[in-house]
Structure 1
Protein backbone atom coordinates (compact mmCIF):
# COMPACT_ATOMS: atom_id res chain seq x y z
CA UNK A 1 0.00 0.00 0.00
CA UNK A 2 1.45 3.38 -0.98
CA UNK A 3 1.49 5.88 1.87
CA UNK A 4 0.10 9.40 1.78
CA UNK A 5 1.26 12.44 3.75
CA UNK A 6 -0.30 15.84 4.31
CA UNK A 7 2.19 18.67 3.75
CA UNK A 8 1.12 22.29 4.04
CA UNK A 9 -2.34 21.92 2.59
CA UNK A 10 -1.68 19.14 0.07
CA UNK A 11 -1.97 15.35 0.32
CA UNK A 12 1.05 13.85 -1.43
CA UNK A 13 2.54 10.40 -2.02
CA UNK A 14 4.93 9.71 0.83
CA UNK A 15 7.95 9.67 -1.48
CA UNK A 16 7.13 13.22 -2.63
CA UNK A 17 6.31 14.67 0.79
CA UNK A 18 9.02 17.28 1.41
CA UNK A 19 9.53 20.64 3.13
CA UNK A 20 11.91 23.45 2.19
CA UNK A 21 15.60 23.20 3.09
CA UNK A 22 15.21 26.31 5.24
CA UNK A 23 12.28 24.97 7.23
CA UNK A 24 13.10 25.90 10.81
CA UNK A 25 12.25 22.41 12.02
CA UNK A 26 15.11 21.06 9.92
CA UNK A 27 17.62 23.80 10.75
CA UNK A 28 16.79 24.61 14.38
CA UNK A 29 14.47 21.85 15.67
CA UNK A 30 12.08 24.79 15.97
CA UNK A 31 8.86 22.81 16.10
CA UNK A 32 6.64 20.43 18.00
CA UNK A 33 4.89 17.15 17.33
CA UNK A 34 2.10 14.94 18.61
CA UNK A 35 1.09 11.30 18.14
CA UNK A 36 -2.30 9.64 18.46
CA UNK A 37 -3.04 5.93 18.67
CA UNK A 38 -5.59 4.79 16.10
CA UNK A 39 -8.07 2.02 16.86
CA UNK A 40 -10.58 0.93 14.21
CA UNK A 41 -9.79 4.09 12.26
CA UNK A 42 -10.54 6.36 15.23
CA UNK A 43 -8.16 8.55 17.24
CA UNK A 44 -7.65 7.58 20.89
CA UNK A 45 -7.35 10.03 23.78
CA UNK A 46 -8.05 12.75 21.26
CA UNK A 47 -8.66 15.82 23.43
CA UNK A 48 -5.60 15.27 25.63
CA UNK A 49 -3.24 15.11 22.66
CA UNK A 50 -4.85 18.10 20.95
CA UNK A 51 -4.63 20.14 24.16
CA UNK A 52 -0.95 19.23 24.60
CA UNK A 53 -0.23 20.16 20.97
CA UNK A 54 -1.73 23.61 21.50
CA UNK A 55 0.19 24.01 24.78
CA UNK A 56 3.50 23.08 23.13
CA UNK A 57 2.86 25.57 20.31
CA UNK A 58 2.00 28.26 22.83
CA UNK A 59 5.13 27.66 24.91
CA UNK A 60 7.29 28.11 21.78
CA UNK A 61 5.17 31.00 20.50
CA UNK A 62 4.44 29.20 17.24
CA UNK A 63 1.22 30.31 15.60
CA UNK A 64 -1.54 27.70 15.65
CA UNK A 65 -1.72 26.76 11.96
CA UNK A 66 -5.47 26.15 11.62
CA UNK A 67 -8.63 25.75 13.64
CA UNK A 68 -9.10 22.73 15.84
CA UNK A 69 -11.91 21.54 13.57
CA UNK A 70 -9.79 21.84 10.42
CA UNK A 71 -6.86 20.07 12.03
CA UNK A 72 -9.12 17.27 13.21
CA UNK A 73 -10.33 16.81 9.64
CA UNK A 74 -6.74 16.67 8.35
CA UNK A 75 -5.81 14.02 10.92
CA UNK A 76 -8.82 11.89 10.09
CA UNK A 77 -8.36 12.28 6.35
CA UNK A 78 -4.71 11.25 6.59
CA UNK A 79 -5.74 8.15 8.52
CA UNK A 80 -8.43 7.40 5.92
CA UNK A 81 -6.17 7.90 2.90
CA UNK A 82 -3.59 5.56 4.40
CA UNK A 83 -6.30 2.99 5.20
CA UNK A 84 -5.07 2.70 8.77
CA UNK A 85 -7.42 0.71 10.97
CA UNK A 86 -5.02 0.25 13.90
CA UNK A 87 -1.87 2.29 14.14
CA UNK A 88 -0.56 5.80 14.70
CA UNK A 89 -1.07 9.26 13.24
CA UNK A 90 1.74 11.82 13.62
CA UNK A 91 1.68 15.60 13.26
CA UNK A 92 4.63 17.97 13.19
CA UNK A 93 4.28 21.76 13.25
CA UNK A 94 7.30 24.02 12.81
CA UNK A 95 7.67 27.78 12.81
CA UNK A 96 7.86 27.61 9.02
CA UNK A 97 10.31 28.43 6.25
CA UNK A 98 12.44 31.57 6.40
CA UNK A 99 15.98 32.79 5.75
CA UNK A 100 18.27 31.15 8.30
CA UNK A 101 18.47 33.38 11.35
CA UNK A 102 18.31 32.43 15.00
CA UNK A 103 15.64 34.98 15.87
CA UNK A 104 12.01 34.31 14.94
CA UNK A 105 11.00 35.29 11.40
CA UNK A 106 8.27 37.84 10.79
CA UNK A 107 4.66 37.20 11.74
CA UNK A 108 3.73 36.61 8.10
CA UNK A 109 5.76 33.37 8.07
CA UNK A 110 3.28 30.51 7.95
CA UNK A 111 3.88 27.45 10.14
CA UNK A 112 4.73 24.22 8.34
CA UNK A 113 2.40 21.29 8.98
CA UNK A 114 3.13 17.65 8.19
CA UNK A 115 0.82 14.73 9.02
CA UNK A 116 1.56 11.05 8.43
CA UNK A 117 -0.10 7.79 9.46
CA UNK A 118 1.02 4.19 9.59
CA UNK A 119 -0.46 0.87 10.68
CA UNK A 120 0.56 -1.22 13.68
CA UNK A 121 0.26 -4.97 14.15
CA UNK A 122 -1.72 -5.19 17.41
CA UNK A 123 -1.19 -8.93 17.69
CA UNK A 124 2.57 -8.44 17.54
CA UNK A 125 2.38 -5.67 20.14
CA UNK A 126 0.35 -7.88 22.46
CA UNK A 127 2.83 -10.73 22.04
CA UNK A 128 5.66 -8.43 23.13
CA UNK A 129 3.66 -7.23 26.13
CA UNK A 130 2.94 -10.78 27.25
CA UNK A 131 6.68 -11.43 27.57
CA UNK A 132 7.71 -7.96 28.78
CA UNK A 133 10.74 -5.93 27.76
CA UNK A 134 14.10 -4.81 29.11
CA UNK A 135 15.18 -1.24 29.79
CA UNK A 136 18.57 0.29 30.45
CA UNK A 137 19.44 3.57 32.19
CA UNK A 138 21.19 6.58 30.70
CA UNK A 139 22.14 10.03 32.04
CA UNK A 140 19.46 12.63 31.27
CA UNK A 141 21.26 15.16 29.05
CA UNK A 142 18.16 16.83 27.60
CA UNK A 143 17.40 20.55 27.67
CA UNK A 144 15.51 22.19 30.52
CA UNK A 145 12.03 22.28 28.96
CA UNK A 146 11.19 18.62 28.57
CA UNK A 147 7.55 19.47 29.24
CA UNK A 148 7.32 20.82 25.66
CA UNK A 149 6.91 18.09 23.05
CA UNK A 150 9.57 19.58 20.80
CA UNK A 151 11.14 17.92 17.77
CA UNK A 152 14.59 18.52 19.33
CA UNK A 153 15.04 14.86 20.21
CA UNK A 154 18.77 14.19 19.72
CA UNK A 155 19.40 13.20 23.39
CA UNK A 156 16.37 10.89 23.18
CA UNK A 157 17.72 9.39 19.95
CA UNK A 158 21.09 8.70 21.56
CA UNK A 159 19.43 7.08 24.57
CA UNK A 160 17.15 4.94 22.41
CA UNK A 161 20.10 3.87 20.27
CA UNK A 162 22.03 2.86 23.38
CA UNK A 163 19.04 0.75 24.39
CA UNK A 164 18.91 -0.89 20.97
CA UNK A 165 22.61 -1.71 21.10
CA UNK A 166 22.13 -3.24 24.57
CA UNK A 167 19.25 -5.40 23.38
CA UNK A 168 16.69 -3.39 25.35
CA UNK A 169 13.43 -1.77 24.28
CA UNK A 170 13.79 1.57 26.09
CA UNK A 171 16.19 3.76 28.05
CA UNK A 172 15.16 5.32 31.35
CA UNK A 173 16.95 8.61 31.89
CA UNK A 174 18.51 9.49 35.23
CA UNK A 175 18.88 12.99 36.68
CA UNK A 176 21.75 14.37 38.76
CA UNK A 177 20.12 13.03 41.96
CA UNK A 178 19.95 9.48 40.66
CA UNK A 179 16.20 9.58 40.09
CA UNK A 180 14.46 8.23 37.00
CA UNK A 181 12.93 11.09 35.01
CA UNK A 182 11.28 9.28 32.09
CA UNK A 183 12.06 7.13 29.08
CA UNK A 184 13.39 8.17 25.72
CA UNK A 185 9.82 8.30 24.41
CA UNK A 186 7.78 7.05 27.37
CA UNK A 187 6.82 7.66 31.00
CA UNK A 188 8.32 5.31 33.60
CA UNK A 189 6.38 3.50 36.37
CA UNK A 190 7.03 0.93 39.08
CA UNK A 191 5.06 -0.99 41.66
CA UNK A 192 7.53 -0.62 44.50
CA UNK A 193 8.56 -3.25 47.04
CA UNK A 194 5.68 -2.12 49.27
CA UNK A 195 3.12 -2.62 46.50
CA UNK A 196 2.63 1.11 45.78
CA UNK A 197 2.33 2.25 42.18
CA UNK A 198 4.72 5.15 41.51
CA UNK A 199 5.61 7.52 38.68
CA UNK A 200 7.34 10.89 38.67
CA UNK A 201 5.16 13.99 39.05
CA UNK A 202 4.84 16.36 36.08
CA UNK A 203 6.06 19.34 38.11
CA UNK A 204 9.54 17.80 37.84
CA UNK A 205 9.82 18.98 34.22
CA UNK A 206 8.95 15.81 32.39
CA UNK A 207 6.63 15.38 29.45
CA UNK A 208 3.00 15.41 30.50
CA UNK A 209 2.18 12.09 28.90
CA UNK A 210 -1.40 11.79 27.64
CA UNK A 211 -1.36 8.03 28.16
CA UNK A 212 0.09 8.67 31.62
CA UNK A 213 -2.79 11.01 32.49
CA UNK A 214 -5.42 8.62 31.15
CA UNK A 215 -3.91 5.76 33.12
CA UNK A 216 -3.92 7.83 36.32
CA UNK A 217 -7.67 8.29 35.92
CA UNK A 218 -8.05 4.51 35.75
CA UNK A 219 -5.78 4.04 38.76
CA UNK A 220 -7.96 6.35 40.84
CA UNK A 221 -11.09 4.50 39.75
CA UNK A 222 -9.66 1.09 40.61
CA UNK A 223 -8.38 2.16 44.02
CA UNK A 224 -4.84 0.92 43.40
CA UNK A 225 -2.43 2.35 45.97
CA UNK A 226 -0.59 5.17 44.22
CA UNK A 227 2.09 7.77 44.96
CA UNK A 228 3.11 10.40 42.38
CA UNK A 229 6.74 10.36 43.45
CA UNK A 230 10.07 9.77 41.74
CA UNK A 231 12.07 6.59 42.25
CA UNK A 232 15.73 5.66 42.02
CA UNK A 233 17.29 3.05 39.78
CA UNK A 234 17.80 0.81 42.82
CA UNK A 235 14.14 1.13 43.74
CA UNK A 236 13.23 0.13 40.20
CA UNK A 237 15.45 -2.94 40.42
CA UNK A 238 13.86 -3.93 43.76
CA UNK A 239 10.32 -3.24 42.54
CA UNK A 240 7.63 -5.89 42.28
CA UNK A 241 6.63 -4.65 38.84
CA UNK A 242 7.62 -2.01 36.32
CA UNK A 243 6.24 -0.67 33.06
CA UNK A 244 6.24 2.33 30.75
CA UNK A 245 3.47 4.18 28.96
CA UNK A 246 3.13 6.01 25.64
CA UNK A 247 0.62 6.43 22.82
CA UNK A 248 2.67 3.96 20.78
CA UNK A 249 3.23 1.41 23.58
CA UNK A 250 0.16 1.92 25.80
CA UNK A 251 1.18 0.03 28.97
CA UNK A 252 4.32 -2.02 28.31
CA UNK A 253 5.60 -4.37 31.04
CA UNK A 254 9.28 -4.03 31.98
CA UNK A 255 10.93 -7.21 33.23
CA UNK A 256 14.52 -6.00 33.73
CA UNK A 257 16.44 -2.79 34.41
CA UNK A 258 20.13 -2.72 33.46
CA UNK A 259 20.05 -6.51 33.41
CA UNK A 260 18.57 -6.84 36.90
CA UNK A 261 15.34 -8.83 36.98
CA UNK A 262 12.27 -6.92 38.13
CA UNK A 263 10.10 -9.04 40.44
CA UNK A 264 9.97 -12.58 39.10
CA UNK A 265 11.09 -11.47 35.64
CA UNK A 266 7.58 -11.63 34.18
CA UNK A 267 4.87 -9.01 33.57
CA UNK A 268 3.10 -8.31 36.86
CA UNK A 269 -0.59 -8.62 37.59
CA UNK A 270 -1.17 -4.92 38.23
CA UNK A 271 0.62 -4.04 34.99
CA UNK A 272 -1.39 -6.55 32.98
CA UNK A 273 -4.62 -5.32 34.52
CA UNK A 274 -3.84 -1.69 33.76
CA UNK A 275 -2.93 -2.53 30.18
CA UNK A 276 -6.29 -4.26 29.66
CA UNK A 277 -8.21 -1.42 31.27
CA UNK A 278 -6.37 1.25 29.30
CA UNK A 279 -6.84 -0.45 25.92
CA UNK A 280 -10.53 -1.11 26.59
CA UNK A 281 -11.17 2.52 27.46
CA UNK A 282 -9.00 3.91 24.66
CA UNK A 283 -10.93 1.88 22.09
CA UNK A 284 -14.29 2.82 23.59
CA UNK A 285 -13.55 6.55 23.71
CA UNK A 286 -11.68 6.95 20.41
CA UNK A 287 -13.30 9.38 17.98
Structure 2
Protein backbone atom coordinates (compact mmCIF):
# COMPACT_ATOMS: atom_id res chain seq x y z
CA UNK A 1 0.00 0.00 0.00
CA UNK A 2 1.44 3.19 -0.72
CA UNK A 3 2.55 5.48 1.86
CA UNK A 4 0.69 8.10 3.38
CA UNK A 5 1.32 11.51 4.00
CA UNK A 6 4.16 13.43 4.58
CA UNK A 7 7.41 12.79 3.41
CA UNK A 8 8.19 12.74 6.97
CA UNK A 9 6.94 10.14 9.15
CA UNK A 10 3.74 11.62 8.69
CA UNK A 11 2.03 8.62 9.44
CA UNK A 12 -0.83 9.70 7.75
CA UNK A 13 1.20 10.62 5.35
CA UNK A 14 -0.93 9.58 5.44
CA UNK A 15 -3.45 7.23 6.62
CA UNK A 16 -7.35 5.85 9.32
CA UNK A 17 -7.83 4.04 6.58
CA UNK A 18 -6.24 3.50 3.96
CA UNK A 19 -4.28 4.24 -2.90
CA UNK A 20 -4.52 2.29 -5.74
CA UNK A 21 -2.11 0.72 -7.85
CA UNK A 22 -4.96 0.01 -9.99
CA UNK A 23 -6.31 -3.40 -9.17
CA UNK A 24 -8.61 -4.05 -6.29
CA UNK A 25 -8.09 -1.13 -4.03
CA UNK A 26 -6.67 -2.12 -0.70
CA UNK A 27 -8.64 -2.44 2.43
CA UNK A 28 -9.75 0.53 4.24
CA UNK A 29 -6.52 1.13 5.81
CA UNK A 30 -4.72 0.89 2.63
CA UNK A 31 -3.00 3.27 0.35
CA UNK A 32 -2.55 3.99 -3.28
CA UNK A 33 -3.54 6.82 -5.50
CA UNK A 34 -7.20 7.56 -5.54
CA UNK A 35 -10.03 5.18 -6.10
CA UNK A 36 -13.01 5.92 -8.25
CA UNK A 37 -15.56 8.23 -6.75
CA UNK A 38 -18.98 6.95 -5.87
CA UNK A 39 -21.86 8.31 -7.92
CA UNK A 40 -24.17 10.57 -6.00
CA UNK A 41 -27.84 9.68 -6.11
CA UNK A 42 -31.05 10.80 -4.52
CA UNK A 43 -32.44 7.45 -3.43
CA UNK A 44 -33.50 7.23 0.23
CA UNK A 45 -30.81 6.11 2.65
CA UNK A 46 -31.31 2.76 4.40
CA UNK A 47 -32.67 2.92 7.93
CA UNK A 48 -30.59 1.76 10.90
CA UNK A 49 -32.45 -1.56 10.91
CA UNK A 50 -31.85 -2.00 7.20
CA UNK A 51 -28.16 -1.18 7.65
CA UNK A 52 -27.83 -3.83 10.35
CA UNK A 53 -29.42 -6.43 8.10
CA UNK A 54 -27.16 -5.51 5.19
CA UNK A 55 -24.12 -5.84 7.44
CA UNK A 56 -25.14 -9.40 8.29
CA UNK A 57 -26.31 -10.56 4.88
CA UNK A 58 -24.74 -8.36 2.20
CA UNK A 59 -21.48 -6.76 3.36
CA UNK A 60 -20.68 -5.13 0.02
CA UNK A 61 -24.10 -3.47 -0.12
CA UNK A 62 -23.59 -2.42 3.50
CA UNK A 63 -20.36 -0.64 2.54
CA UNK A 64 -22.06 0.98 -0.44
CA UNK A 65 -24.86 2.22 1.81
CA UNK A 66 -22.32 3.56 4.32
CA UNK A 67 -20.68 5.46 1.49
CA UNK A 68 -24.03 6.95 0.50
CA UNK A 69 -24.52 8.17 4.07
CA UNK A 70 -21.15 9.91 3.87
CA UNK A 71 -21.87 11.42 0.45
CA UNK A 72 -25.12 12.90 1.65
CA UNK A 73 -24.12 14.10 5.10
CA UNK A 74 -20.40 14.91 5.29
CA UNK A 75 -18.36 17.75 3.79
CA UNK A 76 -15.56 17.88 6.33
CA UNK A 77 -14.57 17.05 9.89
CA UNK A 78 -12.06 17.18 12.67
CA UNK A 79 -10.95 14.08 14.55
CA UNK A 80 -8.13 12.33 16.35
CA UNK A 81 -6.46 9.47 14.55
CA UNK A 82 -4.47 6.69 16.18
CA UNK A 83 -2.40 4.57 13.88
CA UNK A 84 0.37 2.02 13.83
CA UNK A 85 2.04 0.74 10.67
CA UNK A 86 4.65 -1.70 9.49
CA UNK A 87 6.89 -0.01 6.95
CA UNK A 88 9.67 -1.78 5.10
CA UNK A 89 9.38 -4.68 7.51
CA UNK A 90 9.57 -2.58 10.67
CA UNK A 91 6.62 -2.05 13.00
CA UNK A 92 6.69 1.56 14.14
CA UNK A 93 5.30 2.87 17.46
CA UNK A 94 1.74 4.12 17.62
CA UNK A 95 1.08 7.66 16.49
CA UNK A 96 -1.69 10.04 17.54
CA UNK A 97 -2.63 12.85 15.21
CA UNK A 98 -5.15 15.68 15.29
CA UNK A 99 -6.79 15.98 11.89
CA UNK A 100 -8.75 18.69 10.11
CA UNK A 101 -10.24 17.62 6.78
CA UNK A 102 -12.28 19.26 4.04
CA UNK A 103 -13.66 17.36 1.06
CA UNK A 104 -13.75 20.11 -1.55
CA UNK A 105 -11.10 20.93 -2.37
CA UNK A 106 -9.34 17.96 -0.78
CA UNK A 107 -7.63 19.58 2.22
CA UNK A 108 -5.76 17.89 5.06
CA UNK A 109 -4.05 19.38 8.10
CA UNK A 110 -2.22 16.98 10.43
CA UNK A 111 -0.82 17.81 13.85
CA UNK A 112 1.16 15.11 15.65
CA UNK A 113 0.30 14.70 19.32
CA UNK A 114 2.33 11.52 19.92
CA UNK A 115 4.81 9.51 17.91
CA UNK A 116 6.11 12.25 15.60
CA UNK A 117 9.23 11.21 13.75
CA UNK A 118 10.23 13.60 10.98
CA UNK A 119 7.38 16.09 11.00
CA UNK A 120 5.17 17.60 13.64
CA UNK A 121 2.64 19.17 11.25
CA UNK A 122 1.75 18.77 7.60
CA UNK A 123 -0.67 20.40 5.20
CA UNK A 124 -1.96 19.47 1.78
CA UNK A 125 -4.56 21.33 -0.27
CA UNK A 126 -5.44 20.07 -3.73
CA UNK A 127 -4.63 22.67 -6.36
CA UNK A 128 -2.49 24.84 -4.09
CA UNK A 129 1.20 25.18 -3.15
CA UNK A 130 2.25 23.92 -6.60
CA UNK A 131 0.89 20.49 -5.77
CA UNK A 132 3.26 20.14 -2.84
CA UNK A 133 2.70 19.23 0.76
CA UNK A 134 3.88 21.76 3.34
CA UNK A 135 5.63 20.33 6.37
CA UNK A 136 6.86 21.67 9.69
CA UNK A 137 9.87 19.45 10.55
CA UNK A 138 9.97 17.77 13.94
CA UNK A 139 12.51 19.22 16.34
CA UNK A 140 14.39 22.50 16.57
CA UNK A 141 17.57 21.00 15.11
CA UNK A 142 15.75 19.87 11.98
CA UNK A 143 14.06 23.23 11.58
CA UNK A 144 17.36 25.05 12.05
CA UNK A 145 18.80 22.96 9.23
CA UNK A 146 15.99 23.24 6.66
CA UNK A 147 13.62 25.94 7.89
CA UNK A 148 10.35 26.13 9.78
CA UNK A 149 8.28 25.05 6.77
CA UNK A 150 9.42 22.98 3.79
CA UNK A 151 7.71 21.79 0.61
CA UNK A 152 7.65 18.10 -0.18
CA UNK A 153 6.33 15.84 -2.93
CA UNK A 154 3.23 14.23 -1.35
CA UNK A 155 4.02 10.99 -3.18
CA UNK A 156 7.81 11.16 -3.13
CA UNK A 157 10.36 8.72 -1.74
CA UNK A 158 10.18 10.13 1.77
CA UNK A 159 6.41 9.86 1.77
CA UNK A 160 6.59 6.25 0.65
CA UNK A 161 8.93 5.45 3.50
CA UNK A 162 6.81 7.25 6.06
CA UNK A 163 3.31 5.86 5.70
CA UNK A 164 1.08 3.41 3.91
CA UNK A 165 -1.34 6.03 2.62
CA UNK A 166 -0.39 9.25 0.88
CA UNK A 167 -1.83 12.48 2.23
CA UNK A 168 -3.46 12.93 -1.17
CA UNK A 169 -5.48 9.77 -0.45
CA UNK A 170 -6.27 10.47 3.18
CA UNK A 171 -9.82 10.65 4.48
CA UNK A 172 -12.66 8.65 5.96
CA UNK A 173 -14.41 8.46 2.61
CA UNK A 174 -11.35 7.36 0.68
CA UNK A 175 -10.55 4.75 3.30
CA UNK A 176 -14.07 3.36 2.99
CA UNK A 177 -13.77 3.41 -0.80
CA UNK A 178 -10.59 1.37 -0.62
CA UNK A 179 -12.32 -1.21 1.53
CA UNK A 180 -15.34 -1.28 -0.75
CA UNK A 181 -13.27 -1.65 -3.91
CA UNK A 182 -11.17 -4.47 -2.49
CA UNK A 183 -14.14 -6.38 -1.08
CA UNK A 184 -16.23 -5.88 -4.20
CA UNK A 185 -13.39 -7.13 -6.41
CA UNK A 186 -13.14 -10.29 -4.29
CA UNK A 187 -16.91 -10.72 -4.37
CA UNK A 188 -17.01 -10.57 -8.16
CA UNK A 189 -14.52 -13.44 -8.23
CA UNK A 190 -16.50 -15.45 -5.70
CA UNK A 191 -13.65 -15.03 -3.21
CA UNK A 192 -15.22 -12.80 -0.56
CA UNK A 193 -15.63 -14.32 2.89
CA UNK A 194 -16.76 -12.04 5.69
CA UNK A 195 -17.43 -12.73 9.35
CA UNK A 196 -19.99 -10.58 11.16
CA UNK A 197 -18.49 -9.64 14.53
CA UNK A 198 -21.66 -8.20 16.01
CA UNK A 199 -21.96 -4.86 17.74
CA UNK A 200 -19.75 -3.43 20.45
CA UNK A 201 -18.26 -0.21 21.73
CA UNK A 202 -14.72 0.22 20.42
CA UNK A 203 -12.43 1.92 22.99
CA UNK A 204 -9.88 3.05 20.41
CA UNK A 205 -12.66 4.77 18.47
CA UNK A 206 -13.90 6.69 21.50
CA UNK A 207 -16.22 3.98 22.81
CA UNK A 208 -18.78 4.53 20.05
CA UNK A 209 -21.09 1.63 19.23
CA UNK A 210 -19.93 -0.08 16.04
CA UNK A 211 -20.70 -3.00 13.76
CA UNK A 212 -17.66 -5.16 13.08
CA UNK A 213 -16.86 -7.10 9.91
CA UNK A 214 -13.81 -9.22 9.23
CA UNK A 215 -12.74 -10.34 5.78
CA UNK A 216 -10.98 -13.71 5.87
CA UNK A 217 -9.80 -16.52 3.56
CA UNK A 218 -8.06 -14.26 1.04
CA UNK A 219 -7.39 -16.13 -2.21
CA UNK A 220 -3.88 -14.72 -1.99
CA UNK A 221 -2.14 -11.98 0.01
CA UNK A 222 -3.05 -8.51 -1.18
CA UNK A 223 -1.21 -5.20 -0.98
CA UNK A 224 1.57 -5.33 1.60
CA UNK A 225 0.80 -9.00 2.27
CA UNK A 226 -2.67 -8.53 3.76
CA UNK A 227 -4.50 -11.78 4.48
CA UNK A 228 -7.14 -10.53 6.90
CA UNK A 229 -8.93 -7.21 7.25
CA UNK A 230 -11.20 -6.09 10.08
CA UNK A 231 -13.31 -2.94 10.01
CA UNK A 232 -15.55 -1.16 12.50
CA UNK A 233 -18.40 1.03 11.25
CA UNK A 234 -20.03 3.34 13.78
CA UNK A 235 -23.81 3.14 14.06
CA UNK A 236 -24.47 6.86 14.37
CA UNK A 237 -22.94 8.18 11.15
CA UNK A 238 -21.91 4.89 9.43
CA UNK A 239 -18.28 5.94 9.19
CA UNK A 240 -15.38 3.50 9.07
CA UNK A 241 -13.80 4.37 12.41
CA UNK A 242 -11.55 1.33 12.70
CA UNK A 243 -9.46 -0.62 10.18
CA UNK A 244 -6.98 -3.36 11.04
CA UNK A 245 -4.99 -5.15 8.34
CA UNK A 246 -2.91 -8.21 9.21
CA UNK A 247 -0.77 -10.68 7.31
CA UNK A 248 0.32 -14.29 7.69
CA UNK A 249 0.46 -15.40 11.30
CA UNK A 250 -1.51 -12.36 12.44
CA UNK A 251 1.37 -9.98 11.76
CA UNK A 252 0.11 -6.41 12.04
CA UNK A 253 0.46 -4.46 8.82
CA UNK A 254 -1.62 -1.41 9.61
CA UNK A 255 -4.05 -0.35 12.31
CA UNK A 256 -6.12 2.84 12.16
CA UNK A 257 -8.72 4.25 14.55
CA UNK A 258 -10.63 7.54 14.44
CA UNK A 259 -12.28 9.16 17.44
CA UNK A 260 -13.68 12.49 18.68
CA UNK A 261 -15.19 13.05 15.26
CA UNK A 262 -16.92 16.39 14.70
CA UNK A 263 -18.70 16.61 11.37
CA UNK A 264 -18.99 19.68 9.16
CA UNK A 265 -17.26 22.20 11.43
CA UNK A 266 -16.94 25.80 10.30
CA UNK A 267 -13.27 26.29 9.45
CA UNK A 268 -11.74 29.74 9.56
CA UNK A 269 -9.93 31.23 6.58
CA UNK A 270 -6.50 30.20 7.87
CA UNK A 271 -7.35 26.57 8.67
CA UNK A 272 -5.73 25.17 5.54
CA UNK A 273 -2.98 27.72 4.98
CA UNK A 274 0.71 27.97 5.87
CA UNK A 275 -0.38 29.84 9.00
CA UNK A 276 -1.86 26.62 10.37
CA UNK A 277 1.61 25.07 10.53
CA UNK A 278 2.69 27.46 13.23
CA UNK A 279 2.54 26.04 16.79
Q: Same fold (TM over 0.5)?
A: no
Query: TM-score interval w.r.t. the shorter chain?
Result: under 0.3
The structure whose residues are more often helix, as a share, is: 1
The structure whose residues are more often strand, as a share, is: 2
**Structure-1-length-normalised TM-score:** 0.25
Higher RCO (CA < 8 A, seq sep 6+): 2
**Structure-2-length-normalised TM-score:** 0.25
